[in-house]
Amino acid sequence: MGPGGRSRPVTGAASRPQALAGILLVVAASACFAALDTTTKWVSAGVPLLMALWFRYAFQAVATTLIAVPLRGRDVWRTRHLGWQLVRGVLLLASSFLAFVSLRVMPVGEFTAIVMITPLVITLLAATLLKERVSAARWALVAGGFIGTLMIIQPGGSSFGLTSLLPLALVACNSWFQVLTSKMARTEDPVTMHLYTGWTGTLVASLALPFVWTAVADPWLWAAMCFMGFMGAVGHFFLIMAYTRAPAGTLTPYLYAQIAFAMLGGVIVFSHVPDHLSLAGIVMIAVCGAAGAWLTVRERREPAANAA
């Protein structure tokens, strides 16, 4: 890691082992996040939503602090942009809240697939708000991702309702979180960002805790909430470790493994198998998202090749 948490480029013979380690870590993180979402859906039937959300963030915040502070000391709390750290934390908390609500009413696999259009939405934001040039191929991938989303949501179908649009609100919120993260990652330590994210979510969610706290007698629900916090903390640590070993363009396609893990969780825990139209939409989103990541790698290589 270089100053400010930025990774040094990996070159030479060490690049392949490092890249492979990064890919394996991303796949492991995807499995953790799918397990988190599956458990969240199960817990939501017996625990108030805001109580479960608080527990998930509190567990992550405490676990991260207990690991990071002894290793890095008080310097790990230093940040150049405290205000933006707090905004980023609130955005992720809002995304998590929308995820919890969405998972109450949607199958895990379909929910995960819709959330994975976030990179495509970021492309749309870059073109419309940041005035960045977007190629025709990228526009085609964005269109394909949205068509896949419509195939899952199925507007006009018997199961369609306003709650079906909740994942799209989550995507919008998460897209802004990702844009802000990419900007801050240039100067901020990722471990520091992780700490502030966890504690911001915990403190904001604590405001509602006295109004929603409920006695939970079932020990399995407590175990499940601990598991949620553990999976969230471990998944984010795996991501941090992955991005210190390989560039985002190399790793992003493998994040779509989360869709497969989420579908597996839905089958095992809830005996849910997507219908044919939803399954086609899930495949379309995965293909368009992975193709977009591959296109990013190719576009970054072309200027380097021309310069050489």
More confident residue, 28 or 273: 28
CA dist 61 → 88, 162, 168, 204, 205 (Å): 15, 33, 27, 13, 12
Query: What mean pLDDT, rounded, does the chain reach?
Result: 81
Residue 2's pLDDT is 35
Residue 13's pLDDT is 38
> Left (φ > 0), alpha (ψ -120 to 50) or beta: where does 287 sit?
alpha
Q: What is the pLDDT of residues 139-150, one digit of tens each?
A: 888 888 888 888
Give the tokens for residue 249: 């363009």
pTM to 2 decimals?
A: 0.77
Residue 261 identity (one-letter amino acid)? F
Residue 4's pLDDT is 35
Residue 178's pLDDT is 78
Q: What is the pLDDT of residues 196-243, one digit of tens each?
A: 988 999 999 999 899 888 888 889 999 999 999 899 888 888 887 887
More confident residue, 35 or 276: 35
Residue 231 · residue 124 · CB < 8 Å: no
Q: How far apart are CA 183 and CA 202, in angstroms?
A: 24
Give the tokens for residue 220: 């399995």
Question: Which residue's structure tokens are 């799209």?
Answer: 168
Give the tokens for residue 301: 């290589």
CA dist 296 → 90, 247, 277, 304 (Å): 29, 11, 29, 13
Residue 92 · residue 197 · CB < 8 Å: yes
More confident residue, 90 or 114: 90
SS3 11: coil
Q: What is the pLDDT of residues 172-186, one digit of tens each?
A: 888 888 778 777 877
Task: Place 165 in a pLDDT band, splitting at 50, 70 and 90.
Answer: confident
More confident residue, 214 or 122: 214
Give the tokens for residue 93: 């908390």
| Residues 6+ positions from 90 with CB-CB distance below 8 Å | 200, 204
10-14, 15-19, 105-109, 294-298, range with greatest mean pLDDT = 105-109
Angle, alpha carbons 269-272-278 (nearest 5°):
140
Residue 248's pLDDT is 67
More confident residue, 144 or 2: 144
Q: What is the pLDDT of residues 4-30, one digit of tens each?
A: 333 334 443 347 788 788 889 989 999
Closest CA to 96 of 59, 128, 132, 121: 59
Residue 227's pLDDT is 92
Q: What is the pLDDT of residues 32-80, one digit of tens each?
A: 999 999 999 999 888 888 898 998 899 889 988 988 889 888 888 999 8
Closest CA to 57 of 87, 111, 28, 100: 100
Residue 302's pLDDT is 58
DSSP 249-301: HHHGGGGGHHHHHHHHHHHHHH-----HHHHHHHHHHHHHHHHHHHHHHHHHH
Residue 31 · residue 257 · CB < 8 Å: yes
- Determine the angle formed by the axes of helices 49-72 and 82-105, rounding to 10 degrees: 140
Task: Place 3 in a pLDDT band, splitting at 50, 70 and 90.
Answer: very low
Residue 156's pLDDT is 59
Q: How far apart are CA 49 and CA 43, in angstroms?
A: 9
Closest CA to 5 of 164, 184, 272, 137: 184
